[in-house]
Amino acid sequence: PSVITEARERFLSEPIRGDKMRTGATSNRYTATLSHVLSTATTQWEWMHENPCLKVKKTKESRGRVRYLSKDELSRLLEACKQSKNPFLYIIFLISLTTGARRSEVLGLKGQDVHCEKGLLYLMDTKNGTNRAVQISEQIVNWLQACKLQNDLLLFPSPTNPNVPYDIRSAWEAAIKRAGIQDFRFHDIRHTTASYLAIEGFSMLDIAETLGHKSMQMTKRYSHLSNEHKRKLAQKIERIINEESQ
């Protein structure tokens, strides 16, 4: 256990890029992977007497970043994406925003994953290892129906290689700059989706299913927004009661 702990401390103290450091969550994922390997070596192959990772305490994890767009920011960014020279940026942003899908999930979509008649997209081989279906808006359905979809081809292919997804990084950064938005990453679109669902009163289970979370722990970061909605709802009910009693 001491060797693993020392290696973990070095892992956490060494910067990745520039001054960016690894998080406690990343450390715990690496330790969990190592633990699985050592557990197999112990129980199935009998190479070891015990798994030392079981004696190593988890690194404390932060609640996680929750940066989401205000309504004004959202309006500006939608317009900036519409004006982009990248032909796919606006629809990619719209799919991510309305479904909570990750960038890799959207860029990996193929013609066979589209079911316009049902208004569904099927996200395959997602980050948590499962497939899931997401409902799409009429605007997205109309855009997809206007495309010549082919089952085994990407929806958003690179102009130089149809087997590789379109690289939207520079177009995204340009749109963010044009919209005058600070401290917002593409992954934060998921936070925006979840935050707006929480504000509108959807349950934590609804949000978890939308984002494809395996654990409710990941979804709890949005609970304060849901609680705020419930507080306002309670106040509204109280006002109605008071008005009726007068």
Span 215-238, pLDDT tens digits: 666 666 666 666 665 566 556 555
Cα distance between residue 21 and residue 24, in whole Å: 10
Burial 218-228 (b: 16+ CB within 10 A, else e): bbbbbeebbee
In sequence order, the 6+-apart residues with CB closer than 8 A to the CB of 140 are 91, 94, 95, 98
The strand pairing partners of 120, in sequence order, are 115, 135
- pLDDT of the chain along its 246 residues, tens only? 889 999 999 888 888 877 778 888 788 888 989 999 999 999 999 999 999 999 998 887 666 567 889 999 999 999 999 999 999 999 999 999 998 899 999 999 999 999 999 999 999 877 777 788 899 999 999 999 998 888 889 999 999 999 999 999 999 999 999 999 999 999 899 889 988 888 887 877 887 788 877 766 666 666 666 666 556 655 655 575 566 555
Handedness of CA 134, 136, 141, 147 (dihedral sign): negative
Q: Which residues contact 137 (CB under 8 A, 6 or more apart)?
A: 94, 98
pTM: predicted TM-score of the whole model, two decimal places:
0.68
User: Which tokens sit at 61?
Assistant: 């994890």
pLDDT of residue 63: 60
- Look up residue 182 and give its amino acid: Q
Contact, 111 vs 149, CB < 8 A?
Answer: yes
Extract the tokens encoding 199: 């504000």
Q: What is the pLDDT of residues 36-71, one digit of tens each?
A: 999 999 999 999 999 999 999 888 766 656 788 999
